[in-house]
Structure 1
């Protein structure tokens, strides 16, 4: 089967192409450019992508939405021509909008990772209530910002066009791959719940996760030798309500809950935070660290290459803390990596959303937390564990990961699903 893949290059696209080839398919990644992020992904830095697996599109990801219509139409026609002979097209990110004008061609399947299904179909709503948006821009105009009306008009038009194209592209899909029950609910809200769908626990590239740096590992063991537990928060800061975006990580709850825990525990603990996220959120997080008295416990790390960040995951004293919004109560990329390394995971988690994907096999290494108090309780429970008990929790996490997130367990059913859709199309 010939399979084209569009979107999410850095997270999944290239690995998915490799995994599909290893299982007998003929995949091609439609390769976008991500100049600012490429150095954090080892397959960009160690060697050029395998030319047998990629089709270079030749334009950066951040320019796609800003191209003027006439230039964009020419590029779209060329892109559609390139995928016409494929059997299946797996779409992520803005793929549904980009391919909404393609008639016929391959079977289209959406593989959503977040914004592609949670945000892009609702772009107008994310501007906020119309009265509030209008009042904000009128206020800017009155204060002397003469570009405010034009900015409002272009923002509304751009979002409206994007939303229409995205929803049209979603309706044209032949099926959906879902990694959480939350996405099933979103499909229902869009009137797409009757479309074929396939439960797809995202496979991870274990060849990258297996890479080690003995010198860095030894340095970290020495650095934290006198510490009982290291709580690592690798996620970007996203908790301030700056607009109508509904899917915030709410990671300020981690700071508030950890502050309560740190004041009540006799364990020697550290909280490692990454300088990553929107400037406003990052600045407020720094203020909260001081206000909550967390300065003695916190270490700020610069945004690290993935290879270096994973050395912290390998430290047996590490507990991974991810995201805390009830709207994001599922296994994210950081959670899957924590599972691979056998690290306890404190994160928002919904057993109801997990059941359609994992059945009754729920992860024993996940400590659910969607409030300050639940963060405190989870931290305290792990601090009370002996090293042997934490090792048993980690072993259960690794076993769960192997049952669900290895390519060997998820790729063959994916190919069967694509083949069924192709047969139904004939």
Structure 2
């Protein structure tokens, strides 16, 4: 998420650098999000970040990592680690669990971190409270967390520029097809179906999934099956990632509904691979269990100009945002089926909706947000965002 922001700021002449935490997943490394090595000039890894290690990391280690920087933007456990040196984030951009869960309880194995399981939530609470600005779209989960934390700083209800559109654009990305591991597999399915849907969220939909973690993937599968039944004259295809704890549960549902020949499973992969698959799809998907105005799957779909199949409860956002992106708004499997069938009947309409979503994303998730962050930095924009 912050790699894209760093690139945008550097495009505007800001001397921005990125520090990677030591617990970053491999598929979130900058190399997963670019086809060149230029990131090596401004990205470094620090020796801290895992909340379960916070008790053994010295304040000097943290201080050395941020020395010389006069403005700090961060996410994840950064508020907790900065609390060790008495420094606050200028902008905290939470991605979810860093605001909803970590300030209250550490997640994952605990036996090897008896002191950190106490220290990390305590420091995260203090670090979040001290953050000068909390940046991001409105959500019920974030509202509840900030209320519980008694956060009194500024809240900037603005989108996060998490997708780098100078690369991820329908007019640019095709030049990188020959750099993809999985292009051929997606293209083979693309060539034998009429409508191709990409759903690259984690698979979390079982009864034991947490309320805010749930994705509602089963609604998509059932709706997809219903669309196949309603329009037997149309060949539908669906691409999933092997990503999340309920992958096998989804596989079994696909088998039960007789959809295996229409479903392609890609391994958990890199964003650049996901975006190439997105470029070949007709429709992209967000989530179906909870309403989120923005997240990676939403903005990746919008950036590529694809109509978005997603749940959004507009009453949560209309007072905070001047304009909401157009989408295929769904809550149930029947809604999914109805929109897939409607795409068959009105492809030109929905393709125009996808292009309107791309325009919205560039305006609000990129240009307006970058301008607002530059204003926080006291920097005037020096270059127009590249609109592909």
Give the drift of 1:241.
Answer: 4.2
**What is residue 79 of structure 1 aligned with on the other side?**
62
Hey, what does 1:284 align to over in structure 2?
A: 249
RMSD (CA atoms): 3.1
Is contact 1:92–1:113 with CA below 8 Å preserved after alignment? yes
Cα gap change, 1:391/1:243 in structure 2, threshold over 3 Å: closer, same or farther? closer
Seen in structure 2, the aligned counterparts of structure 1 residues 380 and 40 have a Cα distance that, compared at 3 Å, is: farther
User: What TM-score do the two structures reach when normalised by structure 1?
Assistant: 0.76
C-alpha spacing 1:43/1:305, structure 2 compared with 1 (3 Å): closer
**1:22 pairs with 2:11:** yes
Question: 1 CA distance for matches of 2:145 and 2:188?
Answer: 47
CA contact (8 A) 1:232 1:272 kept: yes
In structure 2, the residue corresponding to 1:97 is in which secondary structure? helix
Q: Where does structure 2 lack aligned partners over 5 or more consecutive residues?
A: 380-388
Task: For CA contacts below 8 A with separation 6 or more, give which structure has more relative contact order.
Answer: 2
Secondary structure, aligned partner of 1:231 = strand
Q: How has the CA–CA distance of structure 1 residues 27 and 276 changed in structure 2, closer, same or farther, with 3 Å as cutoff?
A: same
Counterpart secondary structure, 1:206 = coil
The structure number with the bigger radius of gyration is 1
In the comparison of the two structures, how many residue pairs are matched? Answer: 368
Q: CA deviation at 1:114?
A: 1.5
- Could you tell me which of 108, 116, 126 is aligned with 1:168? 126
Determine which of 409, 412, 419 is the counterpart of 2:368. 409
Shift of 1:154: 6.5
Question: 194-203 or 212-221, which moves further after superposition?
Answer: 212-221
Counterpart of 1:188? 147
1:220 Cα shift?
Answer: 5.3
Bigger drift between 34-43 and 255-264 goes to 34-43
Question: What TM-score do you get using the length of structure 2 for normalisation?
Answer: 0.83
Matching residue within 51, 62, 67 for 1:65: 51
Cα contact 1:198–1:417 (8 A) shared by 2: no
Gaps of 5+ in 1: 1-11, 128-150, 421-426
Partner Cα distance (1:244, 1:42) in 2: 28
Q: Distance in 1 between matches of 2:330 and 2:166?
A: 31
Partner of 2:236: 269
Q: How does 1:20-419 map to 2 (within 5 A)?
A: 20-33=9-22, 34=24, 36-37=26-27, 41-42=31-32, 46-47=36-37, 49-51=39-41, 53-58=42-47, 64-67=50-53, 69=55, 71-73=56-58, 76-103=59-86, 105=87, 108-123=90-105, 158-182=116-140, 183-192=142-151, 194-203=152-161, 204-209=163-168, 210-212=172-174, 213-214=176-177, 223-242=189-208, 246-266=212-232, 267-278=234-245, 281-315=246-280, 318-326=282-290, 328-355=291-318, 358-359=321-322, 361-364=323-326, 366-385=327-346, 387-406=347-366, 408-419=367-378
Instruction: Measure, in 2, the Cα distance between the counterparts of 1:354 and 1:312.
Output: 30
Please report how far the alpha carbon of residue 226 of structure 1 lies from its aligned counterpart in structure 2 after TM superposition. Answer: 4.2
Tell me the alpha carbon deviations over residues 347-397 of structure 1, each in whole angstroms, 9 at most, x when there is no partner: 1212133335532x1112x11223323222332322322x32232222212
Asked whether the equivalents of residues 40 and 306 of structure 1 are also in contact (C-alpha less than 8 Å), the reply is: no
Normalized per residue, which structure has more helix? 1
Q: Is the 8 A contact 1:120 1:166 kept in 2?
A: yes
Residues 263, 40 of structure 1: alpha-carbon distance in 2 compared, 3 angstrom cutoff: farther
